[in-house]
Amino acid sequence: MGQLDNRIAFVTGAATGLGRGIALLYAGEGADVAIIDRNRPGGLQVAEDIKKLGRRSVAIEADVGDEATVIAAMAEGAQKLGDPDILVNNAGIITVAAMEEMDTKTWDDMLRINLKSVFLCTRAVLPAMRTRGYGRIINISSQLAHKGGYGMTHYAAAKAGVIGLTKALAHEVTKDGIAVNAICPGPLDTDMKLPPEWAANKQNDLMIGRQGRVEEIAPTALLLATEAAAFYVGTTFNPNGGDVMI
Ligand SMILES: NC(=O)c1ccc[n+]([C@@H]2O[C@H](COP(=O)([O-])OP(=O)(O)OC[C@H]3O[C@@H](n4cnc5c(N)ncnc54)[C@H](O)[C@@H]3O)[C@@H](O)[C@H]2O)c1
Protein backbone atom coordinates (compact mmCIF):
# COMPACT_ATOMS: atom_id res chain seq x y z
CA MET A 1 0.00 0.00 0.00
CA GLY A 2 1.36 3.38 -1.02
CA GLN A 3 0.38 6.67 0.57
CA LEU A 4 -0.95 7.94 -2.77
CA ASP A 5 -2.38 4.76 -4.27
CA ASN A 6 -4.31 5.53 -7.47
CA ARG A 7 -4.11 9.27 -6.97
CA ILE A 8 -3.39 11.43 -10.00
CA ALA A 9 -0.80 14.18 -9.58
CA PHE A 10 0.23 17.01 -11.89
CA VAL A 11 3.69 18.37 -11.08
CA THR A 12 5.00 21.45 -12.87
CA GLY A 13 8.71 21.89 -13.45
CA ALA A 14 9.19 18.16 -12.89
CA ALA A 15 11.78 17.56 -15.61
CA THR A 16 14.61 18.28 -13.15
CA GLY A 17 15.45 19.11 -9.55
CA LEU A 18 12.85 19.26 -6.81
CA GLY A 19 9.89 18.70 -9.14
CA ARG A 20 11.49 15.55 -10.52
CA GLY A 21 12.15 14.30 -6.98
CA ILE A 22 8.55 14.96 -5.95
CA ALA A 23 7.16 13.28 -9.09
CA LEU A 24 9.25 10.14 -8.53
CA LEU A 25 8.37 10.00 -4.83
CA TYR A 26 4.67 10.33 -5.61
CA ALA A 27 4.90 7.58 -8.24
CA GLY A 28 6.73 5.35 -5.75
CA GLU A 29 3.78 5.90 -3.40
CA GLY A 30 1.29 4.76 -6.02
CA ALA A 31 0.33 7.92 -7.94
CA ASP A 32 0.10 8.45 -11.68
CA VAL A 33 1.95 11.64 -12.53
CA ALA A 34 1.81 14.22 -15.32
CA ILE A 35 5.13 16.01 -15.84
CA ILE A 36 4.45 19.56 -16.98
CA ASP A 37 7.62 21.35 -18.01
CA ARG A 38 9.06 23.42 -20.83
CA ASN A 39 12.02 21.02 -20.91
CA ARG A 40 10.65 18.30 -23.19
CA PRO A 41 13.58 15.83 -23.19
CA GLY A 42 13.85 16.04 -19.41
CA GLY A 43 10.10 15.60 -18.98
CA LEU A 44 10.04 12.56 -21.25
CA GLN A 45 12.88 10.97 -19.28
CA VAL A 46 11.11 11.44 -15.94
CA ALA A 47 7.89 10.03 -17.44
CA GLU A 48 9.84 6.96 -18.57
CA ASP A 49 11.35 6.57 -15.09
CA ILE A 50 7.85 6.71 -13.59
CA LYS A 51 6.53 4.08 -15.98
CA LYS A 52 9.36 1.80 -14.82
CA LEU A 53 7.89 2.15 -11.32
CA GLY A 54 4.66 0.69 -12.70
CA ARG A 55 2.65 3.89 -12.77
CA ARG A 56 1.16 5.85 -15.65
CA SER A 57 2.87 9.06 -16.65
CA VAL A 58 2.79 11.63 -19.40
CA ALA A 59 5.23 14.42 -20.22
CA ILE A 60 3.52 17.61 -21.34
CA GLU A 61 5.61 20.42 -22.77
CA ALA A 62 4.29 23.75 -21.54
CA ASP A 63 5.29 27.22 -20.43
CA VAL A 64 3.44 27.51 -17.12
CA GLY A 65 3.37 31.29 -17.38
CA ASP A 66 1.34 31.27 -20.59
CA GLU A 67 -2.43 31.13 -20.18
CA ALA A 68 -3.39 29.32 -23.38
CA THR A 69 -0.58 26.79 -22.98
CA VAL A 70 -1.55 26.05 -19.39
CA ILE A 71 -5.20 25.51 -20.27
CA ALA A 72 -4.18 23.11 -23.05
CA ALA A 73 -1.62 21.31 -20.86
CA MET A 74 -4.05 20.74 -18.02
CA ALA A 75 -6.70 19.48 -20.45
CA GLU A 76 -4.18 17.10 -22.01
CA GLY A 77 -3.14 15.78 -18.61
CA ALA A 78 -6.78 15.24 -17.60
CA GLN A 79 -7.58 13.53 -20.88
CA LYS A 80 -4.56 11.18 -20.68
CA LEU A 81 -4.44 10.42 -16.94
CA GLY A 82 -7.69 11.79 -15.49
CA ASP A 83 -8.47 14.87 -13.40
CA PRO A 84 -5.74 15.57 -10.84
CA ASP A 85 -6.22 14.92 -7.13
CA ILE A 86 -2.91 16.67 -6.50
CA LEU A 87 -1.28 19.72 -8.10
CA VAL A 88 2.27 20.74 -7.26
CA ASN A 89 3.11 24.24 -8.49
CA ASN A 90 6.87 23.84 -8.55
CA ALA A 91 8.17 25.28 -11.85
CA GLY A 92 10.33 28.34 -11.34
CA ILE A 93 13.32 30.37 -12.40
CA ILE A 94 15.87 32.51 -10.60
CA THR A 95 17.88 35.51 -11.75
CA VAL A 96 19.88 38.07 -9.79
CA ALA A 97 19.59 41.81 -10.45
CA ALA A 98 19.72 44.81 -8.14
CA MET A 99 16.56 46.85 -8.55
CA GLU A 100 18.07 49.89 -10.26
CA GLU A 101 19.78 47.64 -12.79
CA MET A 102 16.78 45.42 -13.39
CA ASP A 103 15.01 45.82 -16.72
CA THR A 104 11.26 45.48 -16.78
CA LYS A 105 11.34 42.25 -18.77
CA THR A 106 13.42 40.57 -16.06
CA TRP A 107 10.84 41.63 -13.48
CA ASP A 108 7.89 40.58 -15.65
CA ASP A 109 9.39 37.18 -16.51
CA MET A 110 9.98 36.44 -12.85
CA LEU A 111 6.45 37.32 -11.80
CA ARG A 112 4.96 35.51 -14.78
CA ILE A 113 6.82 32.24 -14.31
CA ASN A 114 7.05 32.12 -10.51
CA LEU A 115 3.68 33.61 -9.50
CA LYS A 116 1.22 34.01 -12.36
CA SER A 117 1.87 30.33 -13.19
CA VAL A 118 0.50 29.31 -9.78
CA PHE A 119 -2.70 31.23 -10.51
CA LEU A 120 -3.03 29.79 -14.03
CA CYS A 121 -2.33 26.15 -13.15
CA THR A 122 -4.45 26.20 -9.99
CA ARG A 123 -7.42 27.89 -11.64
CA ALA A 124 -7.36 25.24 -14.35
CA VAL A 125 -7.66 22.28 -11.95
CA LEU A 126 -9.97 23.70 -9.27
CA PRO A 127 -13.36 23.00 -10.90
CA ALA A 128 -12.70 19.25 -11.12
CA MET A 129 -11.32 19.13 -7.55
CA ARG A 130 -14.40 20.96 -6.26
CA THR A 131 -16.72 18.60 -8.13
CA ARG A 132 -15.07 15.59 -6.51
CA GLY A 133 -14.80 17.32 -3.14
CA TYR A 134 -11.12 16.48 -2.85
CA GLY A 135 -7.83 18.09 -3.75
CA ARG A 136 -4.31 18.77 -2.60
CA ILE A 137 -2.44 21.82 -3.88
CA ILE A 138 1.20 22.29 -2.92
CA ASN A 139 2.88 25.55 -3.88
CA ILE A 140 6.68 25.77 -3.88
CA SER A 141 7.77 29.15 -2.53
CA SER A 142 11.22 29.88 -1.05
CA GLN A 143 12.86 30.91 2.20
CA LEU A 144 13.76 34.12 0.35
CA ALA A 145 10.08 35.05 0.58
CA HIS A 146 10.70 35.49 4.31
CA LYS A 147 14.13 37.08 4.41
CA GLY A 148 14.86 38.50 0.94
CA GLY A 149 18.35 38.71 -0.47
CA TYR A 150 20.53 41.07 -2.49
CA GLY A 151 19.38 41.24 -6.11
CA MET A 152 16.26 39.27 -5.29
CA THR A 153 13.46 41.85 -5.15
CA HIS A 154 11.67 40.18 -8.07
CA TYR A 155 12.19 36.60 -6.84
CA ALA A 156 11.28 37.44 -3.22
CA ALA A 157 8.19 39.36 -4.37
CA ALA A 158 7.03 36.46 -6.52
CA LYS A 159 7.66 33.86 -3.82
CA ALA A 160 6.03 35.99 -1.09
CA GLY A 161 3.12 36.33 -3.50
CA VAL A 162 2.89 32.54 -3.63
CA ILE A 163 2.48 32.46 0.16
CA GLY A 164 -0.21 35.14 0.07
CA LEU A 165 -2.02 33.36 -2.75
CA THR A 166 -1.88 30.11 -0.77
CA LYS A 167 -3.45 31.68 2.33
CA ALA A 168 -6.15 33.52 0.40
CA LEU A 169 -7.03 30.48 -1.70
CA ALA A 170 -7.40 28.38 1.45
CA HIS A 171 -10.34 30.63 2.37
CA GLU A 172 -12.00 29.77 -0.94
CA VAL A 173 -11.47 26.03 -1.25
CA THR A 174 -11.01 24.36 2.15
CA LYS A 175 -14.72 23.75 2.62
CA ASP A 176 -14.68 21.70 -0.58
CA GLY A 177 -12.08 19.24 0.69
CA ILE A 178 -9.16 20.96 -1.01
CA ALA A 179 -6.04 21.49 1.12
CA VAL A 180 -3.73 24.20 -0.22
CA ASN A 181 -0.36 24.74 1.41
CA ALA A 182 3.11 26.07 0.60
CA ILE A 183 6.69 24.91 1.10
CA CYS A 184 9.57 27.36 1.46
CA PRO A 185 12.79 25.39 0.87
CA GLY A 186 16.21 26.74 1.71
CA PRO A 187 19.00 26.68 -0.90
CA LEU A 188 19.01 23.36 -2.74
CA ASP A 189 21.59 21.43 -4.67
CA THR A 190 19.74 21.47 -8.03
CA ASP A 191 20.19 22.97 -11.50
CA MET A 192 18.89 26.29 -10.18
CA LYS A 193 22.29 27.88 -9.71
CA LEU A 194 23.05 31.18 -8.06
CA PRO A 195 26.24 33.14 -8.82
CA PRO A 196 29.08 31.42 -6.90
CA GLU A 197 29.78 34.38 -4.58
CA TRP A 198 26.09 34.62 -3.66
CA ALA A 199 25.92 30.88 -3.03
CA ALA A 200 29.05 30.97 -0.81
CA ASN A 201 27.62 33.75 1.35
CA LYS A 202 24.35 31.90 1.59
CA GLN A 203 26.10 28.78 2.80
CA ASN A 204 27.52 30.75 5.75
CA ASP A 205 23.97 31.73 6.77
CA LEU A 206 22.90 28.14 6.97
CA MET A 207 23.22 26.60 10.40
CA ILE A 208 23.43 23.18 8.81
CA GLY A 209 26.43 24.36 6.76
CA ARG A 210 25.36 22.96 3.41
CA GLN A 211 22.69 23.19 0.76
CA GLY A 212 19.60 21.05 1.06
CA ARG A 213 18.93 17.93 -0.95
CA VAL A 214 15.84 17.17 -2.98
CA GLU A 215 15.26 14.08 -0.78
CA GLU A 216 15.03 16.42 2.22
CA ILE A 217 12.21 18.51 0.72
CA ALA A 218 10.17 16.00 -1.30
CA PRO A 219 8.84 14.18 1.82
CA THR A 220 7.17 17.44 2.92
CA ALA A 221 5.43 17.58 -0.46
CA LEU A 222 4.37 13.97 0.07
CA LEU A 223 2.84 14.69 3.48
CA LEU A 224 0.89 17.62 2.04
CA ALA A 225 -0.39 15.41 -0.80
CA THR A 226 -1.88 12.73 1.46
CA GLU A 227 -5.39 12.51 2.90
CA ALA A 228 -3.83 13.20 6.29
CA ALA A 229 -3.04 16.75 5.17
CA ALA A 230 -6.69 17.78 5.56
CA PHE A 231 -6.01 19.74 8.75
CA TYR A 232 -3.20 21.83 7.18
CA VAL A 233 -4.93 24.92 5.86
CA GLY A 234 -2.95 27.63 4.04
CA THR A 235 0.18 26.83 6.02
CA THR A 236 3.82 27.23 5.06
CA PHE A 237 6.43 24.55 5.74
CA ASN A 238 10.03 25.67 6.10
CA PRO A 239 12.69 23.00 5.48
CA ASN A 240 15.60 25.42 5.10
CA GLY A 241 18.68 24.27 7.05
CA GLY A 242 18.21 26.95 9.70
CA ASP A 243 18.22 29.92 7.32
CA VAL A 244 14.95 31.26 8.72
CA MET A 245 13.53 29.81 11.93
CA ILE A 246 9.78 30.22 11.75
N1 LIG B 1 17.16 25.53 -5.84
C2 LIG B 1 16.94 26.27 -4.77
O3 LIG B 1 17.87 26.69 -4.07
C4 LIG B 1 15.53 26.61 -4.37
C5 LIG B 1 15.29 27.15 -3.10
C6 LIG B 1 13.99 27.49 -2.74
C7 LIG B 1 12.96 27.30 -3.63
N8 LIG B 1 13.23 26.77 -4.86
C9 LIG B 1 12.11 26.60 -5.76
O10 LIG B 1 11.95 25.21 -6.03
C11 LIG B 1 11.35 25.07 -7.33
C12 LIG B 1 12.13 24.04 -8.12
O13 LIG B 1 13.42 24.55 -8.36
P14 LIG B 1 14.71 23.60 -8.57
O15 LIG B 1 15.71 23.99 -7.57
O16 LIG B 1 14.28 22.20 -8.67
O17 LIG B 1 15.23 24.16 -9.97
P18 LIG B 1 15.40 23.46 -11.38
O19 LIG B 1 15.92 24.53 -12.28
O20 LIG B 1 16.14 22.18 -11.26
O21 LIG B 1 13.91 23.09 -11.80
C22 LIG B 1 12.99 24.02 -12.27
C23 LIG B 1 12.14 23.36 -13.35
O24 LIG B 1 11.15 24.29 -13.76
C25 LIG B 1 11.08 24.25 -15.18
N26 LIG B 1 10.59 25.54 -15.67
C27 LIG B 1 11.18 26.75 -15.55
N28 LIG B 1 10.44 27.68 -16.15
C29 LIG B 1 9.36 27.05 -16.67
C30 LIG B 1 8.23 27.48 -17.41
N31 LIG B 1 8.06 28.76 -17.76
N32 LIG B 1 7.31 26.56 -17.78
C33 LIG B 1 7.47 25.25 -17.45
N34 LIG B 1 8.52 24.79 -16.75
C35 LIG B 1 9.45 25.68 -16.37
C36 LIG B 1 12.50 23.97 -15.64
O37 LIG B 1 12.55 23.46 -16.97
C38 LIG B 1 12.96 22.96 -14.59
O39 LIG B 1 12.66 21.64 -14.97
C40 LIG B 1 11.30 26.46 -7.95
O41 LIG B 1 10.03 27.01 -7.79
C42 LIG B 1 12.30 27.23 -7.12
O43 LIG B 1 12.05 28.62 -7.12
C44 LIG B 1 14.47 26.41 -5.24
Instruction: Return the percentage of the chain with pLDDT > 70, whole number.
Output: 100
d(CA 134, ligand 1 centre) in Å: 27
Q: Is residue 120 part of a domain?
A: yes
Residue 235's contacts (CB-CB under 8 Å, 6 or more residues apart) are 181, 182
The CA distance from 73 to 70, in Å, is: 5
Atom of ligand 1 minimally distant from the CA of 64: 32
Q: Are 88 and 140 in contact (CB under 8 A)?
A: yes
Torsion (CA) 92, 164, 235, 121 in degrees, nearest 10: -50
Q: Is residue 1 part of a domain?
A: no
d(CA 158, CA 16): 21
Evaluate whether residue 73 is within a structural domain. Answer: yes
pLDDT, residue 88, reads 99
Three-state SS sequence of 168-219? HHHHHHHHHCEEEEEECCCCECCCCCCCHHHHHHHHHHCCCCCCECHHHHHH
Q: Ligand 1 atom 7: the closest Cα is on which residue?
A: 142
Catalytic residues: 155
Band (75; pLDDT cuts 50, 70, 90): very high
The model's pLDDT over 146-198, given as tens digits with 9 standing for 90+, comes to 999 999 999 999 999 999 999 999 999 999 999 999 999 999 999 887 777 77
The count of domains in the chain is 1
Q: What is the pLDDT of residue 187?
A: 93
Domain assignment of residue 30, yes or no: yes
Whole-angstrom distance between the N-terminal and C-terminal Cα of the chain?
A: 34
- Does 54 fall in a domain? yes
Helix (H) or strand (E) holding 10: strand 8-12
> In this structure, which residue's CA is closest to atom 38 in ligand 1?
13
For ligand 1, atom 25: residue with the closest CA: 13
Q: Which of 18, 90, 240, 243 to mutate to test the pocket of ligand 1 (most atoms within 8 A of CB)?
A: 18
Q: Ligand 1: residues within 6 Å at CB?
A: 13, 15-19, 37-39, 42, 62-65, 90-93, 113, 140, 142, 185, 187-188, 190-192
Q: Please report the atom of ligand 1 found closest to the CA of residue 185.
A: 6
Distance 245 CA to ligand 1 centre (A): 23
- DSSP-based three-state secondary structure for 113: helix
Q: Is residue 241 part of a domain?
A: no
CATH number at residue 110: 3.40.50.720
Task: Let me know if residue 246 belongs to a domain.
Answer: no
For residue 168, give its domain range: 8-235
